[in-house]
Structure 1
Amino acid sequence: MTSPTARRRSVITGTGSYLPQTILTNDDLAARLDTSDEWIIERTGIRRRHIAAEGEFTSDLGAEAARRALAAAGCTPDDIDLIVVATATPDQTFPAVATVIQHKLGMTHGVAFDVAAVCSGFLYALTVADALLTTGAHNRALVIGAETFSRLLDWEDRTTAVLFGDGAGAIVLEAQAQAGTTDDRGVLASRLHSDGRYNDLLYVDGGPGSTGSTGHLRMKGKEVFRHAVTNLSSVMGEVLDAAGLAPADVAWVVPHQANLRILEATAKKLGLDPGQVVVTVDSHANTSAASVPLALDTAVRDGRIQPGDLLLLEAMGGGFTWGAAAVRW
């Protein structure tokens, strides 16, 4: 039997999040759409969502979440040499939101770029940053999920308008020497997937290269639900196998906050207790790439997540894209 080999791991040293001040409740939506608070809660678990103010951009949300993550990690922007932002709602077609956040943080060094994988974006960004840190290319990263999805919504479409909100979450990820065992802190394994055959089930009907417009979000909810439960339970099992761990080792699942029924069905399929699933969808709805770090920050700050806990992060989004990561806190 060989001894473990010391290796660099990407360790989360701080989390932060930000939600805009304006709150839109289910009753607010019921006053303008053919829906009700009871209907929305029963089907989604959502009670309210936050909406960015006029002149408040994705980069503003992401920068504030980043500041809070830096404070939690005891770092300053000078300590960061990589920023990866996951977003489907950039301030501009280009440049990247990451470079705008870099400027708002007062940074003139390092590397900053965006990743586009919609609701799976944070898992994609985390995996990219982990690769760059563990190879030694960079030492400390900000990984951010930030969205202003309210600007993609057709507010006359009750099937989508009730589901989404705006927000941002961030982590500080630092390369640290670890023993090379499953007890290591940090990212132990991650797995990503995509399948472009399902574009028409969840997409935006516009873009700069096609219509020259932003477009609106369109979704076939029942089909998305079916694929989400199957794909997420599969990739979570896959990432646990890759890390040499089992469902019994998991302390908390930190999922993409799309729909309470998806969260419960996915946990059940993997044989996990629903009480192990961090749920925040009720308070901010689906914030796309921001939802996993938002949920993570909530559970860290309220004390649920403790040192040594094994976390299973997962998400699925338009494309389809999906992924999961096993992370030791």
Structure 2
Amino acid sequence: MITSSARISGIGAYVPERILTNEDLEKLVDTNDEWIVQRTGIRERRIAAEEEFTSHLCIRAVQDLAASYKGTLDDVDMVIVATTTPDYPYPSVACLVQNYLGLTQAGALDINATCAGFAYGLHLANGLITAGLHRKVLVIAGETMSKVTDYTDRNTCILFGDGAGAALVEYDPDSPSFEGAVLGSEGSGGKHVYRSGLAATLDGMPLEGEGKIYQNGREVYKWAVRTVPDGISRLLETSAVGIDELEWFVPHSANLKMIESICEKTGIAVQKALTSAEYYGNTSSATIPLSLQLAQRSGSLKFGDRLVIFGFGAGLTYAGLLLRWGIQD
């Protein structure tokens, strides 16, 4: 078990209006709906408008959170944004959000832990609040993956979509949300999924992609179905919690077939998995908050429910958290 004085007290999400279906992708690359659904479980994804960027999605997610939150956001004292697709190298997306919301007393920073970013952001928020350094932290995950996707590469373009999610974490020593954490990385696997940048090589390997996403799906899949079940096992063991004590499992929604395999290996019933990929695609750091918001909105997720969230992705990096859901109806 870990020490915590922080509760997740609000959730919100936003996806762009434009829908990109599997049938639309059939016109771009050699693929079809049956092939995509069979291998990934994805049917649609949302695509940001030309002048719609990650900060815009993040702001809309916070506005969605504010609409259901019973308190005020005026006293937020830290904004953390997890993203791999910032509007600019700098200023940070967090600063853009902070400015728009008028949070003049809030610190602001971006983190890049790719698809594990939201879990990392929550972990940091818990640490800052439990240490007594902050009292109310906005954790936002937002991505415009469509802007870095190569739509001539059928191995990647079928996967990715755009979206954002936001959570509010605040000081509450009486009903803390955070019960356990497991984090790790395997940097030697960075060559299997990356977005090329200033460097021309990675571990001596020439980089492909010209600023777009490159992924060796087979290797990433093998790593995930090995690493995530092991991480969940360690998380539950150190927290003295059994599989049967979990109401929900919220993995990064990279690929629904991958999630089925992870559930089978861990013994978690697939019916307990909350996902967002079927109609939103792989939105990287945003998949987990999108899944949580969908479950909150449907009434499936209840105050006090125990759940594991587990993000994993490029780096290679991962983060799993054991949580008590802290949002009351």
Taking structure 2 as the reference length, the TM-score comes to 0.93
Shift in Å at residue 195 of structure 1? 1.1
1:325 paired residue number: 321
Contact 2:4 2:126 in 1 (8 A): no
2:204 paired residue number: none
2:96 paired residue number: 100
Q: Is residue 238 from structure 1 mapped to residue 229 from structure 2 by the alignment? A: no
Q: Deviations over 1:24-44 (max 9, x none)?
A: 000000011100011000000
Query: Distance between the aligned counterparts of 1:84 and 1:214, measured in 2?
Result: 28
Match of 2:151 among 135, 155, 159: 155
Shift in Å at residue 68 of structure 1? 1.5
Shift in Å at residue 214 of structure 1? 6.8
Secondary structure of the 1:49 match is strand
Q: Deviations over 1:42-100 (max 9, x none)?
A: 00000000000011110000011012123322233312111111000000001111010
2:194 paired residue number: 203
Secondary structure of the 2:5 match is strand
Query: Distance between the aligned counterparts of 2:90 and 2:128, measured in 1?
Result: 23
Shift in Å at residue 298 of structure 1? 0.7
2:10 paired residue number: 14
Q: Is residue 187 from structure 1 mapped to residue 183 from structure 2 by the alignment? A: no
Q: Deviations over 1:151-202 (max 9, x none)?
A: 1111100000000000000111111012xxxxx5401111211111001100
Q: Which ranges of structure 1 fall in alignment gaps of 5 or more residues?
A: 179-183
Contact 2:275 2:288 in 1 (8 A): no
Q: Is residue 268 from structure 1 mapped to residue 264 from structure 2 by the alignment? A: yes
Q: Deviations over 1:85-141 (max 9, x none)?
A: 100000000111101011111221111101101111111111111100111100011
Q: Which deviates more, 70-79 or 100-109?
A: 70-79
Shift in Å at residue 208 of structure 1? 8.4
Match of 1:75 among 71, 83, 102: 71
**In 2 relative to 1, CA 214–33 (structure 1 residues): closer, same or farther, beyond 3 Å?**
closer
Secondary structure of the 2:28 match is coil
Aligned residues: 319
Query: Distance between the aligned counterparts of 2:66 and 2:226, measured in 1?
Result: 36
Shift in Å at residue 243 of structure 1? 2.2
Query: Distance between the aligned counterparts of 2:97 and 2:107, measured in 1?
Result: 12
2:224 paired residue number: 228
Secondary structure of the 1:64 match is helix
Amino acid at match of 1:66: V
Query: Distance between the aligned counterparts of 1:274 and 1:8, measured in 2?
Result: 29
Query: Distance between the aligned counterparts of 2:62 and 2:251, measured in 1?
Result: 20
1:295-310 to structure 2, matched below 5 A, reads 295-310=291-306
2:136 paired residue number: 140
Query: Distance between the aligned counterparts of 1:63 and 1:207, measured in 2?
Result: 29
Contact 2:248 2:274 in 1 (8 A): yes
Amino acid at match of 1:77: L
Contact 1:313 1:325 in 2 (8 A): yes
Q: Which ranges of structure 2 fall in alignment gaps of 5 or more residues?
A: 202-206
Query: Distance between the aligned counterparts of 1:32 and 1:147, measured in 2?
Result: 22
Query: Distance between the aligned counterparts of 2:223 and 2:282, measured in 1?
Result: 17
Contact 2:276 2:288 in 1 (8 A): no
Taking structure 1 as the reference length, the TM-score comes to 0.93
Amino acid at match of 2:226: T
Q: Is residue 293 from structure 1 mapped to residue 293 from structure 2 by the alignment? A: no
Contact 1:260 1:281 in 2 (8 A): yes
Query: Distance between the aligned counterparts of 1:208 and 1:24, measured in 2?
Result: 32
Contact 1:199 1:320 in 2 (8 A): yes
Amino acid at match of 1:81: D
1:36 paired residue number: 32
Shift in Å at residue 209 of structure 1? 9.7
State, as a whole percentage, how many aligned pairs show the same letter: 39
